[in-house]
Structure 1
Amino acid sequence: MEKMNQALEKMKMLVGMEVEEEDEEQTSGPSRDSSSFIDDFNRNCALSSKQSMLVFFHPIKFGVTFTFGNLLALGSTAFLIGPKRQVTMMLDPVRIYATALYLASIIIALFCAVYVHSKILTLFAVILEFGALFWYSLSYVPFARSMVSKIMVGCFDTEF
């Protein structure tokens, strides 16, 4: 039962809920020191409800940060495998259209957020960018795009 309570406490911390403090006699010992760091880290990294709703309250700010995050992710993979190999992999005939859609969605999102300053257009551009990122990521998994396509056709097929 104690393990269940500890697991419940950790789940509460992961989703950002407040956790009751334990008694002093239970917190003594060396194992508490190592888990204390993790507990403090999880508490400090939890988002408030206002922070997690940033995409709806401030879509322009979210769009810029999300897009720069995607650019940093592309740059980090180029750093890890080398820029030449990154570009070669991105321009591979299997994923050339996914790459073009992804890069175009990045440009559209930045354009809507920085130049147009439209909250609705930026929100739509971020949704497009997220979908393009998903499709681009699936291009690295063999047969993943065809599987997702078949699932979507199966789910939304209106013929009986």
Structure 2
Amino acid sequence: MPQWFDKLKTNLGLNEDGEAQQEQTLLQQMNEATTLDRTQRAIGFLTCVGIGLLLSFMAPMFIFRPTKFAMIYSLGNVLSITMFLMGPATQMARMFDSRRWISTAVYLTSLVLTMVSALVFHSVLLCIVFIVIQFCALVWYALSYIPYGQATLMRLLGRETAETG
């Protein structure tokens, strides 16, 4: 067969190599599709974190409008946890590893519940409760990347932990 035909089959995923590509996990496919160089990763990271922090700091301006406050604050938090530095596959894998899956689950659940309480129930009290939970889960998650970060926080709060690191 002509070489161009083999290349076409490979690009369309119709040969043996294409079958191996289909067996890749979703995270592997996503990681392969989103390869960036260091400069692009740094620019994307700084842009998302900058916009995320700006939105998070702007959110208190809407404290008396719980729907806008919850939406702006939550969007700012989502942008702050950017996937540019590590790539989406690595970030997702690390978010759900044994040390972080609980804080990730609490964070994502509180994020969704914040939106539901703001958009569906229009409840100021529920928004505040879920935003506090969201903030605490985000801090705990971020501290998991700092060596002894969670243990130090627990010591500062007056609670000793059996786990170190």
Q: Same fold (TM over 0.5)?
A: yes
TM-score by length of 1: 0.57
Contact 2:114 2:127 in 1 (8 A): yes
- Residue of 132, 146, 151 corresponding to 2:151: 146
Alignment of 1:71-150 (within 5 A): 71-74=78-81, 77-150=82-155
**Partner of residue 54, structure 1:** 61
Structure 1 gaps, min length 5: 1-50, 155-160
Alignment of 1:39-50 (within 5 A): none
Structure 2 gaps, min length 5: 1-57, 160-165
What is the CA-CA distance between 1:80 and the residue it aligns to?
3.2
Larger-gyration structure (1/2): 1
**Partner of residue 66, structure 1:** 73
CA RMSD of aligned residues (A): 1.9
**3-state DSSP of counterpart to 2:157:** helix
What is the CA-CA distance between 1:153 and the residue it aligns to?
2.3
TM-score by length of 2: 0.56
State the identity %: 33
Q: How many residues align?
A: 102
- Larger relative contact order (CA 8 Å, sep ≥ 6): 1
Contact 2:140 2:150 in 1 (8 A): yes
